[in-house]
Structure 1
């Protein structure tokens, strides 16, 4: 890998794992980038962000482009100034919170498929050992995957998401965000216009507030899977900005 290129670190979101970045990882590696896609623990925004910051501090050297998808956007917003030499942020169909905001509050009043009075209509809930009081794992119901999360993927791929999804603890979605890295680090945002999890108007408002360089793609919430070129273009632009 080229010593003149920044390291690209890709942080996945809820109901996913690092393989959700596969369509992005291969092309970037072929272009000479060192790419790392750490696990996002999906247990709580504070602890998840601390883990990613620790990963950055220990597993990277030199400039970093830090990218996050969905809930991973909230994680990089908190981790970006806490570990490693992060020079650019890339948000892909992502939450871009300001201090004090939560994932749930950002979706309040929106047309999101998840902004419903009864979460159990779109999520399956299960307890887990050692869960904090009131915490539980949330899994996407199959209908939610097919109709709102990844509706532009082939059916077989959607069923694979149903089978392999990593749940997120409810705690993560109600933890207030800390001081945002985007206030001091340049950012890029890829907005999926057909996103039914984080509606395009919510994405655009957050990205504009953060001063991000914005691009849009006619894709679902998993645009980096269905149309990865848009994400690749944003990451390349972010990397090029570092010099």
Structure 2
């Protein structure tokens, strides 16, 4: 039969175990992040992320690239959430340019454990892409409206300089011809409560960016408390510097799983 001292010790041990269970798994037991979902920006599609995806796949990560329609912010968030629903386990969500608007909303998904903003908009509640860009304009001024005034595109004559000056001209010429027009409504839609407020985030600042002012990228990242990596590259940093962008994503996945 246990004496009072043994009973007390046993009760304390059980209580301590209950507290540890309530607090969740230890750092050593934390789930490893093996899934990466990438949301491309406007005026391009997900194919530009192929090299980054290949690097990450070779390093053992599972990569999915969302092909959102850019018809509205709500449509693009819904498309991203459908992809997140298919992930098995914790997931790192990556967004480029306008894709940052999307992951800020879609990042509330239960599977998402961290957010990576690559030369991306990182809005707070009530902010829109148009409002952020208008307050801190980029160097590039090649955005045009379609005849009906409903969609936006980047003037092919300005595409190389404004979007991807560090890629070969023949490559940017094709990108200009195959660009995805963006609904103006997607650029003026305002963000809700940002996922970065409750989840860890990382940001790549493209220092030669002419589509988003690099100072705006820095300011948004500081506000969100994101870990920042600066890369001397154009807005298409994912295509011109795939190894460095992949390294940021791989490191973020490792850190998010701790």
Aligned to 1:215: 229
In 2, distance between residues paired with 1:21 and 1:41? Answer: 17
In 2, distance between residues paired with 1:5 and 1:76? Answer: 17
Aligned to 1:144: 158
2:162 counterpart SS class: helix
CA contact (8 A) 1:42 1:168 kept: yes
Query: Number of residue pairs matched?
Result: 227
Aligned to 1:25: 53
CA contact (8 A) 1:71 1:95 kept: yes
1:66 is aligned, of 90, 93, 96, to 93
In 1, distance between residues paired with 2:195 and 2:47? Answer: 25
Aligned to 2:198: 184
Structure 1 unaligned regions, length at least 5:
128-134
Q: How far apart are residue 230 of structure 1 and its match? A: 2.3
Q: How far apart are residue 126 of structure 1 and its match? A: 4.4
Q: How far apart are residue 5 of structure 1 and its match? A: 4.2
1:9 is aligned, of 37, 43, 50, to 37
Q: How far apart are residue 124 of structure 1 and its match? A: 4.5
- State how 1:169-208 maps to structure 2 within 5 Å: 169-208=183-222
**Residue 104 in structure 1 maps to residue 118 in structure 2:** no
**Residue 123 in structure 1 maps to residue 137 in structure 2:** no
In 2, distance between residues paired with 1:42 and 1:113? Answer: 23
More helix by share: 2
CA contact (8 A) 2:32 2:254 kept: no
| Pair 1:8–1:126, CA change in 2 (3 A) | farther
| Pair 1:97–1:146, CA change in 2 (3 A) | same
TM-score norm. by structure 1 comes to: 0.89
Deviations 1:42-96, CA, capped at 9 Å, x for gaps: 1111221122123212x11200000000000110000000x34101100000000
Which of the pair has more CA radius of gyration? 2
2:167 is aligned, of 146, 153, 163, to 153
CA contact (8 A) 1:13 1:40 kept: no
Structure 2 unaligned regions, length at least 5:
1-30
TM-score norm. by structure 2 comes to: 0.84
Deviations 1:101-149, CA, capped at 9 Å, x for gaps: 00011012324146x6xxxx6324144xxxxxxx612121112212111
CA contact (8 A) 2:164 2:235 kept: yes
